[in-house]
Amino acid sequence: MSDVREILKKRPLLFDGGMGTYYKAKPGQECEQANLLDPEGVLAVHGAYLEAGADAIKTNTFGLPRMAAAGNPLWEALTDEGWRLAAQAAAKTGAAVFADLGPAPDTESLPAAQIYTALAERFAALGAKNFLFETLSSDAGVAEAAKQIKEAVPDAFVLVSFAVLPDGYTREGRHCTQLVRSMTACGAVDAVGLNCVSAPGAMRTLVQQLGRTELPLSVMPNAGYPVVTRTRVQYQGRPEYFARELVGLAAEGVRILGGCCGTTPAHIAALRTALDALPEQLPVAAAAPVPTAAKPEVETDDAFLRKLNAGQKVIAIELDSPKDADLTGYLEGARRLQAAGADLLTIADCPIARARMDSSLVACRVHRELGLNVLPHMTCRDRNLNATKALLLGLYAEGVREVLAITGDPIPTAERDEVKNVYQFNSRKLAQYIVSLAGEGREMPSPLTVFGALNLNARNFDVELRRAQEKLENGMSGFLTQPVLSAQAVENLKKTREALGSRAKILAGIMPVVSQRNAIFMENEVNGIHVDAEIIERFAGLDRVQGEELGLEVSVKAAQAAAPYADGFYLMTPFNRIALMERLIARLKEEGVAD
């Protein structure tokens, strides 16, 4: 079996193409199951790529991480046979064999690192020395697994490859430069690269944007973009074009080349011929990045952030957008709250998953007309990655510098037959994606500040606090909390401040209770809110005026209790009562709780 490192010293290493798409074009079973059900068919595919000139082939085991995570007992037998078949095929030419591991799900109960490690140990016991983690959307668990591989097989060669869209981001919102940097820094990876999703031309542009890399770079694009005809998916990219684009990358320093979906032995043969025609001495690193034009200076923060970062207590106030298309009353309400002393207007994104005017569009209008800083809520529901990115770019262009990233409420059960949920990522991944849009050569000159939600009323607050720490690690700068309406909420707020210190800006949630009925409803039907029984009892028999007065008293006391542990307050407007919130802001200022 060829030594990969020795090949790389002399010339680029050529991999095979897309096993899955090429095998499926023939009669037979699903790809990985074919290791047991159609071994001759798998051997034939390996043989075709080797005959085309591949220096290395991948085991037919791409889908096994998901299979193992799902508890399918066949994963071990499929691993064994996948290795045996690839080794048998490669023995005829001396080609290198890579144990192929596709993406593994990453959950708290079963981390991706555990799945990868179990498979890698199985391969190592079979004699594997080369390992490929491919088509990944994140680096979850990879560094840990790579280190375990190096401990078991010190001379192992580990290649990690990410599936990246033409704009440089994975489907989980990670930019390729971040991922390449992460794998380089881990110290247990020998080469890093990109594969799948993008066609050769787009991937060549991505490589130029990456610039020089410390580790050897791998590039394995699709043959082109898929064309769906009835039940078949076809790739129409021609082998000559594929070879021309990739040999150009080799001339610029890419050391590992191959193909992914839609690439056939014909594509690999064309690339083999092109590579063999190159001069012997080639650069060993990728080309320098394409220079970009200087961008004009833009405001990177705003009055709200400057006040918050100066240590002054800020006031953010939430006002739900209209249910109809008329913004007249809403803008007047926002103007009144601004005059009362609100530093920031927050706008929910279709709370309880019921349609209202879009929070981001409303935020842009308020900011444009009033000059008031705004914090539109952005849920993971109902937008895929493309729609999210488009919206964020529009917000930035309109001068919006803060967003609140939350998972979002699911569509109510009664409406699911007509309205479907779309969840591509959670709030942590959304935050990570938002902050990754800024940087050299990126779409935004400066990052947006991302806030998240913190439920002080969570039954298992230790879990909630751990998630808050993960949110900070993924790019969030602070949190807006659920309402403080109990002694336990204050205690959890104190615990949060002690755990997170100055790393997080915390706006304590304050929501005036206006009646006993209102209090009982929130306690029983609103997720994330807990109202002390004592507070509920105090509202018994009160009329509207009395209820509002007591609500103000309770809210001010809650703010006073929360103040030592908070950087400001997040006021929630009940039933669109603007006048009540004007009075609350005035009381907070009179009591010296807010600056």
Nearest to 11 by CA among 20, 21, 2: 2
* CATH code, 146: 3.20.20.330
Do 241 and 318 fall into the same domain?
no
Instruction: Show the domain range for 263.
Output: 4-276
172 shares a domain with 308: no
In a domain, 63, yes or no: yes
If asked whether residues 431 and 312 sit together in one domain, one would say: yes
Q: Name the pLDDT band for 549 (thresholds 50, 70, 90).
A: very high
Alpha-carbon gap, residue 172 to 205, rounded angstroms? 21
Are both 487 and 352 inside the same structural domain? yes
Mean pLDDT over 296-323 rounds to 86
| Total structural domains within the chain | 2
Instruction: Identify the three-state secondary structure at position 262.
Output: coil
Q: Residue 552: what are its φ and ψ, rounded to 5°?
A: -65, -45
* pTM of the predicted model over 0.85: no
Question: Where is pLDDT greater, at 178 or 290?
Answer: 178
| CA 420 to each of CA 358, 406, 411, 448, 558: distance values in angstroms, whole numbers, following the listed order | 18, 18, 7, 29, 39
- Supply the DSSP symbol for 173: S
At residue 350, the pLDDT reads 81
- Could you list the residues known to form a binding site for Zn(2+), using ranges: 196, 260-261
E strand segments, 251-311: 256-257
Whether 294 is covered by a domain: the verdict is: no
Is 297 inside any structural domain?
no
Environment class of residue 183 by beta-carbon count within 10 Å: exposed (0-12), middle (13-18) or buried (19+)?
buried
Of 367 and 423, more confident: 367
Q: Is residue 298 part of a domain?
A: no
Do 421 and 336 fall within a single domain? yes
pLDDT tens profile 96-122: 999 999 999 998 899 999 999 999 999
**Do 345 and 204 share a structural domain?**
no
Q: Are residues 255 and 373 in the same domain?
A: no
175 and 315, same domain (yes or no): no
> Can you list the positions of beta strands (E) in 251-339?
256-257, 314-318
Nearest to 341 by CA among 388, 310, 393, 303: 303
pLDDT of the residue at 552: 97
Phi, psi angle pair for 175, to nearest 5°: -85, 145
pLDDT at residue 24 tops 90: no
The answer on 177 and 74 residing in a single domain is yes
| Residue 512 placed within a domain | yes
**Strands annotated E in 269-347:** 314-318, 344-347
Least confident range from 226-230, 357-361, 440-444, 474-478: namely 226-230
416 pLDDT exceeds 60? no
pLDDT in tens, 480-514: 999 999 999 999 999 999 999 999 999 999 999 99
Provide the annotated binding site. 196, 260-261
Task: Tell me the CATH number at 566.
Answer: 3.20.20.220
Q: Looking at 260, 276, 292, which one is the last position of a domain?
A: 276
Mapping DSSP onto H, E and C, the string for 358-422 reads CHHHHHHHHHHHHCCCEEEEEECECCCHHHHHHHHHHHHHCCCCEEEEECCCCCCHHHCCCCCCC
Residues of the chain with pLDDT > 90, as a percent, come to 78
In this structure, the answer to whether residues 308 and 272 fall within a common structural domain is no
Q: Residue 291 to residues 211, 245, 249, 331, 440: CA-CA distances in angstroms?
A: 10, 20, 18, 44, 11
Q: Could you tell me if 310 and 375 lie in one domain?
A: yes
